[in-house]
Structure formats: structure tokens, C-alpha cells
Structure 1
Amino acid sequence: MPRPILATIDIAAMQHNLAVARAHAGAARVWAVVKANGYGHGLMNALRGFADADGMALVEPDAAVLLRQRGWRKPVLLLEGFFDAADLEAIASHGLDTVVHCEEQLRMLEIASLRGPVNIHLKVNSGMNRLGFRPHQVASVHARLRALSGVGQIVLVTHFANADDEHNPALPLAEQVRRMREAAAGLDVPLSLCNSAASLLHGELTEDWVRPGIMLYGGTPGAAPAASFGLTPAMTLSSRLIAIQEIAPGEAVGYGSRFVAGKPTRIGVVACGYADGYPRHAPSGTPILVGGVRCALAGRVSMDMLAVDLSNAPQAQVGSSVTLWGEGMPIDEVAHAAGTIGYELMCAVAPRVAVAVRGDN
């Protein structure tokens, strides 16, 4: 018998969430961001779930080539660009789009003999200070790219640091937009501005391309619940109770004895631990569904197990179903309780967890 922990991937939910992203995008074309193995959902599942996207975007060149080998003929974008001059041959031969974000990449392009034309997404550092050229550099970089016979279309792209917190005093969204407009002035090029947060909250910025990521998988980057935007969880991590302990007041549970019962308490033991991808730092009180009833994590998460306070679920017994996140238990709520984000939980599910895939519509 297999260990009773399962990650269920819902292709129909992915298709639905893409439709929501497109509805928010207006006339813009939609990149489906599928980096990190489709945010932990599986690259081939993402290929099925986002078949109606206008393109797929990721950071791993080998995964980009795999998309081509599996039949994807629409655009594929490398969001971090290329890491070595040797990558340019694969980019050209497989018809990939690539970000160019630094002088070193630009020089590699200038000395390469591209089969081309290769479409370039010129990254603008509008204030996030990870990748990109400063706005005042963009016109000259654009001119250098335009002079290369192996370069096709050029798109300007930036990334917002605070689209879900537009008045952040360190870097307001409006200031990033202003800097991007400054960079684009006089160039007559398509723009790609919006991530998930900007797509959901700032439809006026959708422009020519949008790059939804977390929303495609049923999560959100901000405080608003995903369901409030009509998004559906694409991953459900489930397990079962494998034991129940009856403990007296003053007795403790787990490593470090972090949870101490204040009354007679039934404790359920779940076949899920940090080696499965559940966050070890999740505190007592983190929500968990047992038999569809909302309960709470009790004590420190172990490698292979975690404990849950069954006070709200007196009917629970060994074998009762448990939902760690997904259907009925929003991943963003679990992540918030654990002091992290839904992205991390999605991507952290371990290889030892069995995966089931529900078919598409």
C-alpha cells in the first residue's frame, strides 16, 4: 500500500485560471509563466493546462527546449535570458525568445553569428534592482540591438516590486510605471509590464503582453483571497490520519514540546512532514482540514508526520481524510499562517509525494 499522501493536479482548474487571466488582460497577449516545473505542478501538466496561452515563459533553457520537443509551437520566453554564449545556438535553433538584461549578454549577442531572427525582451530596471538596464540606458541599448541582423522583434519588459502594495513608500508602483514610460519614450516598441498582482489589480497597465504566474495555479501574491478573483486551486495536497492520541491536560506533543494541552485533547497524526514539502516552521494553529472540518496544527512538524488538534472534529478517526492545502483550504492562508507565500509551498512538494492528475474539460 502506498503512503497516504497525494498531490492532485487539476488541469481544468489551470484552464479556468488562464481564462481568468485573459479576462483581466484585455487586448494584451498572455505569457503563461511555467518556471520551476510549472510552480511545482509539473511542466507537462502546465503544457496541457495552458495550451490556450499565447506563449510560455520560464527561466530554464533545458525546460524551454523540452517544451519545443513536446510540440509547443507558440512563443517560449527565457525570463533570465541566456547564461553563456553557447546558449544562443539553442535559442536560435529552437526559436526561443530571450530576455537581455545586462551588458554582458548584449556583448555576447553582438559577437554571435545568430541564425535568427531572435526576438529580444529588453529588461528595464525600473526600481526593483534585480535585472535590467536603467531607463536612461535603454535607448542606446535598443539601438545596438536594432543594428544586429540576428535580432527580430524587441519588446521592453520590467517587473513590479509592489503591484499588490502600490503606495509602498520605498518604491511606489506609479514611480516604476513612470520610469518605464521614460525608458520607452520614442521607441515605438511593445511593452510587457504586468505580473499576476498587476494584472488583477491594475488592468490599465496590461499593455501588449502580461506575464501571469501564481494566479494561473490558483494563488495570489497579495492579501486578497484567490477565490475573490474567481481563481481555483490547481493543486490539492492531501493525506490521512494514521494515528490518534488521547492526551491529558499538561501533556505535550512533538519535538520541542511546543504544543501543551490545556484540556483533554484528541491529537491526530497525519502522514505528512517537512520531507514532503510541508513547512517545518509552520506554527501551532496553522489551519488543516480533517474530514472537511477546519482544525489546527499542533506542535512542531516532523520529517514524516505532523499533529493536528481534533477538538473541532470529534468524529475523526484513523483513516479520516486530511487536506493540507487546496480544495477547501486556500494555500495562501496556510502560507500566511506559516510566514511564507503560496509560491514556496507549491514549489516545495517533494518528489516522494505521489501525484495524480485530473483531466481537462
Structure 2
Amino acid sequence: MSRPAQAIVDLAAVRHNFQLAQSLAPSAQTLGVVKANAYGHGAVEVAKTLEPLAPALAVACIEEAIELREAGIRKPILLLEGPFESDEVKTASEQEFWLMASGPEQVDMIANAEIDTPVRVWLKADSGMHRLGLMDEQLRQSWEKLQPLPHVDNDIVLATHFAAADELDSDFTQQQIDNFAAMAEGINAPVSMANSAGILGWEQSRGDYNRPGIMLYGASPFPGSHPEADKLKPVMTLKSKIIGLRTIEPGETVGYGRSWIAQRRSVIATVAMGYGDGYPRHAPNGTPIMVNGQQAQLAGRVSMDMITVDVTDLTVVQVGDEVECWGQQLAVNDIAERAGTIGYELITRMPLRTPRVYINHQD
């Protein structure tokens, strides 16, 4: 038998979450963001699921885009970080990759390219994130430089990225929206602002193109409940099974560092799941975990291949029983918070050792 640790990926949930994003901005074009191996879910399978629904997909870099092309994906693919080398502009032209230009150097790469097929360009404005993006008048100057060129598609998109859209009580997102509007004033071009948090929580940010990422995978960008985000369906369920059971006495300890001490006679289940499978090493004692639909708690330090769980209060626990680490019964964000990180990191860092099992393919 194979090791039971696996990530179940529900493609019906991907479709549901994309359709939710589209429903919130029905007149907009909704891209499917599948960078970083589709946030750990498997870029090819997720891209195949989204291709019939989305006008285009989005990745971070050309290597990710080429992987999708080689797998048979034909929709346009936006490179969110744009070209790193000038020869990537030629590849983008040949492969129908759209290029984000986030600085004068990338604008010049595109302007100076010798290509036969016009390339689609997105110009990224720095409206306040201060990470990448064209500053102040650079946006207008870049648009004026590229717009008349015959090898640039004249339907240039103006884009920006939010720094704090997940903070619904902050006015910084509105400041960015206003800054972007001022930078784009007088330029006749489609715009793109909204990421997942923008789509869900900032109606005024929904532009001509929207770029949902984390929401496609069923995780909320917000720390608490939200009326739209609560409609998302989790895509990944990280599962395994119990591989050992033992009873220990009061005062005995469990795991590396002896960080968990039994306060009573306790039943400890060992599960084939560890940080080598994507479970966060810093998840503390007491982190919730589901055993046969019953909630138990982590007991002892997470090791590379195993975790130990206090199942003393559960009814009838046996070797081979199913364990859910997050997914349908436990939100990944809740586990991430316990471990001092965010859901984005947990799913995106899912290692290749953990097999993805895809369910609910489109008929």
C-alpha cells in the first residue's frame, strides 16, 4: 500500500470559486491566476479546469507559462512579472503570452523588440505598494511610447496591485484606487486593479480585468468572516491516516523535545503526516485536527514524516482511521494562524512528495 498522506484537489470547487469571482463583476474579464503551481494545487490540472471559463490565465514567469503550453493550454497567459530578458519578448510574441511591464527597463525591452506578431502589454502602476510598478509620469510616458509601435497590440491594459485590500477597515486601498485613477487620467485604456480581496471586498476596485488568486483555491484573503468570502469552497483537503496507537501514563512525554506532557492517562495516535508532507512544523500543541469527523488536538512537535495526536476523548479510534489536517472540515487559514503564518504559504509550499488526487473533473 502507498503512504496515505495526500492532497485531495476538488476541481468542482475551483469552478465554483471562479464563477463566484465572475458573478461579482459580470461585465469584467476574470483571469485565472495559476502561478506557483496553482498555489500548490497543480498548475496543469487547474489550468485545464479554468481554460473553458477564463479568457486568459496568469502566472509569475515565462517558465510557468511554457509548462502550460507544453501541456496543451492554448488560452493567452499573462506573465505577471513580465520579461526578465529581452529574448523573452520574442517568445511571448510567438506563444501568445501577455507581458506585464513594471519598470522602464521592461518597457524598453518591449519597445526595442524585433518581432513579427504584436505582443499584448500590461503596464503596471505603483499606486502605493512600492514593490514594483511605474511611478508617477512613467506610466503615461510608457503608454505613449508603446501605443504607436506596430509590434505592440494597441489594446494596452493599465494595472496596479493592492498592498492592504485584506484590511477592510483601512482606507489605504481607497487611496490606491484614487492614486491609480489620477495616474491613468486621460489615458484611454482598460484597467485592472482587483486581486481576490479586491473582488470580494472592494466593489470600486473591480475593473475591466480582475485577477483572482487565493479565492480560486477556496481560502479567504480576510482574517475573519465575510459575506462573499464565506461562499468560497475549499479546494485542497490534506489527508492521511493513523498508523499507530499507544496509551501513555501521566507525566510521560510525546515527540522531539518532549514538549507535550500527559496530564492524565492518554491515547496518542501517530499519523503519517509531517513537515515533509506540507504540514507546518510550527503548529503548536493543541492545533485542531479531524479524526473520523471528530476534532482532536496535536500533541507533540511536528516531525518530518509524522505527527502525534491526542485522541483520548474520541470514540473508537483505530489504526487506519482517516485524518484531515485541513480542507472540508478545518479551514487552512485557521491552521495557518496557529502556526504563525498564512494560508497562502501552507498551500503554496505543498511539496511534490504529497500526491495530488484530483476529483470532480468536468464531464
Task: Please tell me the TM-score bracket, short chain as reference.
Answer: over 0.9
* 1: CA distance, partners of 2:225 / 2:5: 26
Q: Encode CA deviations 1:284-337: one digit per residue, 9 max, x unaligned.
A: 111110111111111210011011111341321211110011111111111111
Is the 8 Å Cα contact of residues 101 and 107 (structure 2) preserved in structure 1? yes
Match status 1:257 vs 2:244: no
TM-score by length of 2: 0.95
Equivalent in the alignment of 1:6: 6
Equivalent in the alignment of 1:99: 100
Equivalent in the alignment of 1:198: 198
Equivalent in the alignment of 1:154: 156
Give 5+ residue unaligned stretches, structure 1: none
Equivalent in the alignment of 2:142: 141
Q: Structure 2 matches for 1:23-34, cutoff 5 A? A: 23-34=23-34
* 2: CA distance, partners of 1:28 / 1:59: 22
Q: What SS class does the counterpart of residue 241 from structure 1 fall into?
A: strand
Give the aligned residue type for 1:245: R
Equivalent in the alignment of 1:245: 246
Q: Structure 2 matches for 1:156-195, cutoff 5 A? A: 156-168=158-170, 172-195=172-195
* 2: CA distance, partners of 1:11 / 1:225: 24
Equivalent in the alignment of 2:336: 335
* 1: CA distance, partners of 2:124 / 2:168: 21
Equivalent in the alignment of 1:110: 111
Percent of counterpart pairs with the same letter? 40
* 1: CA distance, partners of 2:69 / 2:296: 45
- After the TM superposition, list the runs of 4 or more consecutive aligned residues in structure 1 that deviate by more than 6 angstroms: none
Match status 1:21 vs 2:21: yes
Q: What SS class does the counterpart of residue 31 from structure 2 fall into?
A: strand
Is the 8 Å Cα contact of residues 135 and 179 (structure 1) preserved in structure 2? no
Equivalent in the alignment of 1:40: 40
* 1: CA distance, partners of 2:242 / 2:117: 57
TM-score by length of 1: 0.95
Q: What SS class does the counterpart of residue 83 from structure 2 fall into?
A: coil
* 1: CA distance, partners of 2:111 / 2:341: 42
* 2: CA distance, partners of 1:259 / 1:322: 20
Equivalent in the alignment of 2:55: 54
* 1: CA distance, partners of 2:334 / 2:169: 24
Q: What SS class does the counterpart of residue 194 from structure 1 fall into?
A: coil
Equivalent in the alignment of 2:275: 274
* 1: CA distance, partners of 2:150 / 2:272: 58
The Cα shift of 1:228 comes to: 5.2
Is the 8 Å Cα contact of residues 8 and 237 (structure 2) preserved in structure 1? yes
Is the 8 Å Cα contact of residues 295 and 309 (structure 1) preserved in structure 2? yes
Give 5+ residue unaligned stretches, structure 2: none
Equivalent in the alignment of 1:292: 293
Give the aligned residue type for 2:85: D
* 1: CA distance, partners of 2:68 / 2:304: 34
Is the 8 Å Cα contact of residues 166 and 174 (structure 1) preserved in structure 2? no
Equivalent in the alignment of 1:76: 77
